[in-house]
Structure 1
Amino acid sequence: MGRALLSVVRDVVITNAPEELPLVVGLNGLDDAEIGRRLARGRTSDEPLGFGAGEAVALVTSVVWMAIQTTANEVVGAAAQGALGRLRVTLRRMFRRTPSPAPLPHFGRRELAEVHRRVLELARDAEMDPSRAAQLADSVISRLVLDTAGDSGE
């Protein structure tokens, strides 16, 4: 069984931005697509992700989620976004109360480099300090590599 994106994000947030942990906990029970939509759009005070705090609260969570999700989507390919994938999501929602997290694909060197690049790019766009952005990108890759190393032993 693969690792779930929210689990990876949670582990990185615990290490790099523990103040964002309530946000990550608040995402439990949502499917990956809904989490991505909520983190991608601007939040307002009446949305559940705001938790009464400013935009900065979700900075690390959003950067990490978007970098990994975008790369994972590319690895899985357009077929996962097609009609069959949508049908599977619809059926899953009909028969399950809480959606199960989709496992992340295996990230090879090229994909890990892409995740690292995207974290740096998104962090720069969010005006994060460059040294903190580099530390965050390294932390994300370390977490993903630990999972990959664990998968190879199974």
Structure 2
Amino acid sequence: MSEQMAGVRVRDLVRDVVAACAPEEVVIVEGLLRQSDAEVLARLRRRRGERDPLGFGLAEIVPLVAPLLWLTLERARERIAQNLVDGASRGSSTLWRWMRRRPPVPEVIPPLTRDQQRLVHTMVLDGAAEAGLSPDLAQRLADRVVAGLVLADPDEPQGRPRGEVEEGGAEEPRELR
């Protein structure tokens, strides 16, 4: 496995926050973790836009934390990355095109500045409010996400957690704690 940039993998952060704040959804996250990040995002984005034949779906009855977190963290990662790209030289477009052709790797949120941490915190709060989660749960989610980002060890390479396999492959079922 090639060395990844320091930071927190979105999938790991989602798993940790869901386990702490919405343990009833751990089984959903475990199912999502069997797919690559690109596949998970495609599924979650597709579900948000599709119309249920009955006019409502499970998300309207019970807002789910796992999809909310995964999509919000991906939007935050993209926004931060776009700010870095915008600040970079315009001559780097060739390098950018070359990087986009590389095989998919897990999405990583790099170490963030305090302002970027506040941005992520606000994005999680806003997404939770939009999804209809209670203010208490929204605050716990946002705090846990930022704590996970802040407490990540930048010197520790991002390895695969026990039972997880390379991108796109299936993994053996793990016992839930």
TM-score by length of 1: 0.73
Q: What is the number of equivalent residue pairs in this alignment?
A: 134
1:106 Cα offset (Å): 1.7
Larger-gyration structure (1/2): 2
Say what the alpha-carbon RMSD is for the aligned residues.
2.7
The unaligned stretches of length 5 or more in structure 2 are 51-56, 86-92, 158-177
Contact 2:36 2:106 in 1 (8 A): yes
1:146 and 2:155 equivalent?
no
Out of 51, 54, 57, the position equivalent to 2:58 is 54
Report the CA distance shift for 1:28/1:57 in structure 2 as closer, same or farther (over 3 A): farther
Out of 81, 85, 88, the position equivalent to 1:76 is 81
After superposition, what is the alpha-carbon deviation per residue over 1:67-126, rounded to whole angstroms, capped at 9, x for unaligned? Answer: 2211111222257xx6434311xxx2xxxxxx6423322211111111111111111111
Contact 1:10 1:21 in 2 (8 A): yes
The unaligned stretches of length 5 or more in structure 1 are 45-52, 93-98
Q: Which has the higher contact order (CA 8 A, sep 6+)?
A: 2
**3-state SS of paired residue (1:119):** helix
Say which structure is richer in helix.
Answer: 1
**3-state SS of paired residue (2:64):** helix
Contact 1:5 1:68 in 2 (8 A): yes
Contact 1:36 1:66 in 2 (8 A): yes
Counterpart in 2 of 1:96? none
Counterpart in 2 of 1:36? 41
Which amino acid is the alignment partner of residue 144 of structure 1?
Answer: L
1:144 Cα offset (Å): 1.0
Out of 29, 44, 50, the position equivalent to 1:24 is 29
